[in-house]
Amino acid sequence: MDNSPIGIFDSGVGGLSVFSQLVQLLPDENYIYFGDTLNLPYGNKTKEELIKITQNIFDFFKAKKVKAVVMACNTTSALTYDTLSPKYDFKIYPIVQTVAKEIAIGNYRNIGIFATQGTVNSHAYKKEIQKYSPNTQVFEIACPEWVNIVEKELQENEDSINNIKMHLDEMLVHNIDKIVLGCTHYPYLLNILTQFAPEELFINPARHFAQYIYQNLKENNILCEEKKHEHKIYVSANPKQFATASRLFYKVQEIEEIKLAVQS
Ligand code: DGL
């Protein structure tokens, strides 16, 4: 058993779509969530920039003595996990690599991926899914505007709705069996997406991901045994905006603003 906290991070409120699933499955754990709103969006940053950013976050979690870090961010999982994971002693769970295997089990003909530009350019989902299901065709489409729509709560704007519908139409021409919401911000847009396509079409990877983490912590015998379950939420900028934008997935009570050291 291990009562140390679990660290979980994303560029902003997106990772809370994973956090909320984890809290449901593992209510007794202690969590530290970091929303890197100062560096948001991650989707248009270079691999080098993202490695520095992620390293700072891992160092922050290391100082907090976490037992595991949940990369509730597809972009950093795709671009930094391979480089950084060998350098740290705690367990690290990357969302893309973890859920792609699960998605591949479905053996679909045509899978669509909506993700950030960085994730799409890395082809991480395509590579990982085809590793396990080589005959599945994977269509990756970047939706660079969607993170801002969620963070600034612009879901009701006509321009936002048109943009969401435009990317969906672009995807649907490929005769798609399932669409993976390959950025943790996108489940916040499900109520708009489902105005134009059936809900069963979409896969929100958060559930598979949380289930895997639960099983893995259990198998490694490092679940928390005390019943304290403390939740600490940190952001690097704009705590008020974070608190309102997060409402759909998590009711944030207290937020601490913190600037992480800049990596040279
Ligand atoms: N929500 C993150 C992801 O899953 C990052 C989005 C962004 O900041 O561009 O990729």
Q: For 107-118, what is each residue's pLDDT tens digit? A: 899 999 999 999
Tell me the pTM: 0.96
Look up residue 199 and give its two tokens. 């809900």
Is pLDDT above 90 for 124? yes
Confidence (pLDDT) at 262: 62
Portions of the chain given CATH number 3.40.50.1860? 6-94+207-260, 97-205
Which residue in 73, 104, 111, 124 is the catalytic one? Answer: 73
Is pLDDT above 60 for 100? yes
**124-135: average pLDDT:** 97
With a 6 A CB cut-off, is 149 part of the ligand 1 pocket?
no
Q: Is 143 a catalytic residue?
A: no
Cα–Cα distances in Å, from 98 out to 78, 81, 107, 210?
A: 11, 12, 16, 10
Which residue lies with its CA nearest to atom 9 of ligand 1? 43
Crossing angle for the helix pair 124-132 and 74-84, nearest 10 degrees? 80
Confidence (pLDDT) at 162: 98
Stretch among 49-58, 62-71, 243-252 having the lowest mean pLDDT: 243-252
Q: Is 73 a catalytic residue?
A: yes
Question: Can you tell me which atom of ligand 1 is nearest the CA of 14?
Answer: 1
Tell me the percentage of the chain whose pLDDT exceeds 70: 99
Stretch among 70-84, 198-212, 227-241 having the lowest mean pLDDT: 227-241
- Classify the C-alpha dihedral 111-115-121-125 as positive or negative: negative
Confidence of residue 264 (pLDDT cuts 50, 70, 90): very low
With a 6 A CB cut-off, is 41 part of the ligand 1 pocket?
yes
CB 250 within 8 A of CB 10: no
Instruction: Find the 17 Cα to ligand 1 centroid distance in Å.
Output: 12
Exposed/middle/buried for residue 134 (C-beta within 10 Å: 0-12, 13-18, 19+): exposed
Which residue in 72, 111, 183, 189 is the catalytic one? Answer: 183
Candidate of 8, 10, 79 to mutate for ligand 1, largest count of ligand atoms within 8 Å of Cβ: 10
Report the mean per-residue pLDDT for the chain.
Answer: 96
For the domain spanning 97-205, the CATH number is 3.40.50.1860
Which residue lies with its CA nearest to atom 2 of ligand 1? 73
Confidence of residue 86 (pLDDT cuts 50, 70, 90): very high
For the domain spanning 6-94+207-260, the CATH number is 3.40.50.1860
Is pLDDT above 90 for 8? yes
